[in-house]
Structure 1
Amino acid sequence: MVALLVLALVLVVTGLLPTHDASALAGRTAPVLGFVVAITIVAELARDAAVFDLIAQRIGRWGRGRVLALWAAVILLAVVSTIFLSLDTTAVIVTPVVVLLAQGVGVSPLPFAFATVWLANTASLLLPVSNLTNLLAATAIGTNPAAFVALSWAPALAGILVPVVLLTLVHRRTLFGSYTAPPPRAPGDRVLFLASAGVLLVLLPLLALVHDVWIPASAAAVVLLALFAVRRRHALRLSLVPWQALGLAAALFVIVETAHARGLAGLLSPLTVHGHGLGELLRVAGLGALAANGIDNLPAYLVLEPVAGGDPAALMALLIGVNLGPLITPWASLATLLWHHRITALGITIRWRSFMLWGLAAAVPTVGVAGLALAAVSN
C-alpha cells in the first residue's frame, strides 16, 4: 500500500494528474472517504459496546434450538449489516460474532462463515452506503437514494437469494439439525450498550433516506466518540480509523484517474454500452465481475466506469459485476481478505482452492440472475 501511496503522490506532484482533474477528484471522493471513516468508527464503537454480541445472543435464543431458524436470523443480520453499515462491517465485525455463536452452541461454523463473506459482497447493492463503489456511482444514477433503489432492489434481491439458496442446499445436513440455546448475558456497561444501540437505530433509516450520507454518519460518530470519552476512554484509539482501507482507496482513485486523463478512457471506448438490452447489461456485468476478480472490485469499477457512459442502468450493471461478482479470487474484494484474517484467528481453515471453486459456482448464477432482474426493472 505504501508503494501505491507514493506513486499517487508522485502523480499529483509532477502534474501527470492535471490540477483541474485532481481538484474534481477530491471534490467527488472526499465525502465518500469521510463516510467510510465515520461509519467504521460507528461500527467499531458499537462492537465495543457489545451491541453485536447481544444481538447474536438474542438470535441464539430466538432460534429455540433449531439450526434453520438460527441460520435465517444470521442471514438477516448479515444482510442488514451489509446494506446499512457496508460490506467491511459484515466481514470484520459480524463474522467473528456469528462464528463464535455457532461454535458456542455446537454447530459447524463453516456455513455461517461462508454466509458472511458471500453476503458481505452480494448484499452490498441495495443502497449507496452499502459499498464504496455504490457511493461513487450514486450521483450519476440519481439525485437521491430512491432513484438508486428503483434500479437496485431487484438485482439486490437476487444477490441475496441466490447465494443463500446455494449455501442452504450445500449445508442442509447441518442446517436442519438442532442445538442448545446459549444462556442470556448482560452487557458490561448497560448505559453504553443502550446509547450505542439507540444511535444505530436512529442512524440506519437516515442512511437510506438522505443524499449526503456522510453527514448523519459523522454526527453518529461524534456522539459515540463523546459517549465513550466519558464512559470508556481507553476504547478511543487511532486504529478506529481504517487507515489501510483509506490509503488504498485514495491511492487507487488518483492512479486510475491519472490513467483516464492520459488516455485510458479512449482505449475503453469500443466497450461503451449501447442501449439497455439484456445482452448489453449482462456484458457490462460480466466485464465488471471479471475485472473485480482480476484486480479487486474498487479499481475494477474505477477503470470500467467510462464504459457505462453515464447511463444509470449500465452503471447498475457494472455495480452488479463488481459487487456481486468478486466471490472467486481472494483479492477480488478487500472484505474477503479481512474476513479470512478474522476466521483464521478463530481457528477455522479455509483452503483457497475450495473457496474459489465454490465462489465460481455462486458468482456465475448470482451475476446472471441479477442481470436479468436489472433488465426487467430498467426496461
Structure 2
Amino acid sequence: MRIAIVGGVLLLVGAAAALFGVLTPDDLAELAGRVLPILAFVVAVTVVAELAAEAGLFRVIAERLAALARGRAIVLWLLVLALATASTIFLSLDTTAVLLTPVVVALAAHARISPIPFALTTVWIANTGSLLLPVSNLTNLLAAERLDLHPLQFAAITAAPAAAAIVVTAAVIFVTRPRQLLARFEPETASPPEDRLLFAVSAVTLVVLMPLLVSGVEVWIPATGAAIVLVIAFAVRRPAVLRFELVPWQLVVFASGLFLAVEALHAVRATDVLGVLAGTGHSPLDLLQVAGVGAFSANVVNNLPAYLALEPFADDPVRMVALLIGVNAGAIITPWGSLATLLWHARLVSADVEISWPRFMLLGLLVAPLVLVAATLALAATA
C-alpha cells in the first residue's frame, strides 16, 4: 500500500505539472504511447506468473529438482540457481523474488538445510540476473523501447555482462556459504499437482509464451494472450482464485506516478546535473562511471526512478546497457534499491526466515561492486 500512496502523490505532482504547462498535451500523449504497452505487459505477466504458481508449477518444478539433487545440497542449489535465472530472464525479477522465494525456502526447510543461501540466491539473481532480455526488468523494457531494439539485438549486447553478473553472484554465495552448500540432506518424495489439468495448461502456456517474448512481437500481446488463457482455465476449474489482488495495481500506480514526475523534472532540466556525473564516452572507465552513478542512484531512491532520471544521458546501446548494469545489478545494497527486494523480504518474514536489513546491506556491499565491475568490463570487452 505504501508504494501506491507514493505513486498517488507522484501522479498529483505530474498532474500539477500538466496543469501549469510544464508538460504539454503532446508530451503526455507521447509518454502514454511509450509506457502504456509496458504497463500492460507488467500486469499480464504478473497474472500469468501468479496463476502458474497457484497451479503448483513452481512448487512441482522445485520438488523435481530436489529429487534430481539426490541428497546433495550443492546440486540442489545449482539447480535452484538455474531455475531462478530462467524465471528472472523470462518472467521478470519480481516473479523470482515473490513467487520462487517461498518455494525454494520451503524446499530447503523440508530438506533440513539452511534456507539462507537459497533466499539470497533468489533475491540477488532476481536483480543481477535481470539484464539479458527486455522482459527481465521494467527498466530493460524502457531501454529497449527507447533504442528500438529487437529482443535478440538487445540480448546480443547484454549477453556477456548478464553472464558475468550471474557467475559472480553465484561465486560470492558459494564462497560465503560453503559449509551450508556442501551439506547433504534426505530427499523427500515429490507430491503431484492438486489439479493436473490446470498444471498442464499452465506449463504449456509458459512454454509457448517464452519464445514469443523474444520473437519481436510487442511483448504485451503474447503476455495478455497467456493471461487470458489461464484466467479462462481457472474460471472453469478454480474460480475462487480469480481475485483483484492478482493485478499488481500498486506497482502500476507507483510506476505511472514515477513516469509523470520524472518527465516533469526532465522538462524543467532538473536532472541535468546527473548528466555531468554520468559523463560521456565508451572506455571501460567511462562505462564504469555510468554504471556506478546508476547503482548509487538506485540504492538511494530505487532503480526505476534512477533509470528514468539517467536515461537521457545513456544515449546509445552500449552506454544504456552500462546504465542498466548499475540500476539492475547494482541495486542490491539498500532494501529499497529495487521493489523486488522489498517484496522478497516480505515473503521471507511470512515464511519465518530472518535476514536483518543491516546484515543484508553488508552482504550487498560485498557483492554489488564485484558484480558491477565484472559485468561492466564484460560489456566493454564485447561492445
Normalising by structure 2, we get a TM-score of 0.96
Q: Which moved more, 1:262-271 or 1:274-283?
A: 262-271
> Could you say what secondary structure the match of 1:330 adopts?
coil
Question: Which residue is equivalent to 2:61?
Answer: 55
Q: Which amino acid aligns with 1:355?
A: F
Pairwise CA distance, 1:269: 4.1
Kept in 2, the 8 Å contact 1:273–1:314? The answer is no
Question: Which residue is equivalent to 1:217?
Answer: 223
Kept in 1, the 8 Å contact 2:161–2:379? The answer is yes
- Counterpart selection for 2:27 from 21, 26, 36: 21
Question: Which residue is equivalent to 2:269?
Answer: 263
1:88 aligns with 2:131: no
Question: Which residue is equivalent to 2:238?
Answer: 232
> Could you say what secondary structure the match of 1:264 adopts?
coil
Q: Which residues in structure 2 correspond to 1:1-379 (within 5 Å)?
A: 1=6, 2-271=8-277, 273-308=279-314, 310-378=315-383
Gaps of 5+ in 1: none
Kept in 2, the 8 Å contact 1:88–1:120? The answer is yes
Q: Report the Cα distance in structure 1 between the residues aligned to 2:199 and 2:29, rounded to whole angstroms.
A: 41
Q: Report the Cα distance in structure 1 between the residues aligned to 2:199 and 2:275, rounded to whole angstroms.
A: 52
**Deviations 1:146-174 (CA, angstroms, capped at 9, x unpaired):** 21111100000011010100101111101
Q: Report the Cα distance in structure 2 between the residues aligned to 1:346 and 1:52, rounded to whole angstroms.
A: 16
Pairwise CA distance, 1:184: 2.2
Q: Over aligned residues, Cα RMSD in angstroms?
A: 1.2
Kept in 1, the 8 Å contact 2:53–2:59? The answer is yes
Kept in 1, the 8 Å contact 2:278–2:289? The answer is no
Pairwise CA distance, 1:71: 0.4
Change (3 A) 1:45 1:13: farther
Q: Report the Cα distance in structure 1 between the residues aligned to 2:290 and 2:280, rounded to whole angstroms.
A: 10
Pairwise CA distance, 1:242: 0.2
Kept in 1, the 8 Å contact 2:11–2:260? The answer is no
Q: Report the Cα distance in structure 2 between the residues aligned to 1:140 and 1:26, rounded to whole angstroms.
A: 13
Kept in 2, the 8 Å contact 1:325–1:367? The answer is yes
**Count of residues in Structure 1 that have an aligned counterpart in Structure 2:** 377
Moved over 4 A (4+): none
Pairwise CA distance, 1:7: 2.7
Kept in 2, the 8 Å contact 1:143–1:211? The answer is no
> Could you say what secondary structure the match of 2:254 adopts?
helix
Q: Report the Cα distance in structure 2 between the residues aligned to 1:75 and 1:208, rounded to whole angstroms.
A: 22
> Could you say what secondary structure the match of 2:269 adopts?
helix
Kept in 2, the 8 Å contact 1:265–1:306? The answer is no
Q: Which moved more, 1:92-101 or 1:140-149?
A: 140-149
Q: Report the Cα distance in structure 1 between the residues aligned to 2:271 and 2:117, rounded to whole angstroms.
A: 41
Change (3 A) 1:118 1:182: same
Q: Report the Cα distance in structure 2 between the residues aligned to 1:171 and 1:93, rounded to whole angstroms.
A: 23
Q: Which amino acid aligns with 2:303?
A: N
Normalising by structure 1, we get a TM-score of 0.97
Q: Report the Cα distance in structure 1 between the residues aligned to 2:318 and 2:353, rounded to whole angstroms.
A: 40
**Deviations 1:195-232 (CA, angstroms, capped at 9, x unpaired):** 11100011112112224111111110011111111111
Gaps of 5+ in 2: 1-5
Q: Which moved more, 1:356-365 or 1:10-19?
A: 10-19
Change (3 A) 1:243 1:371: same
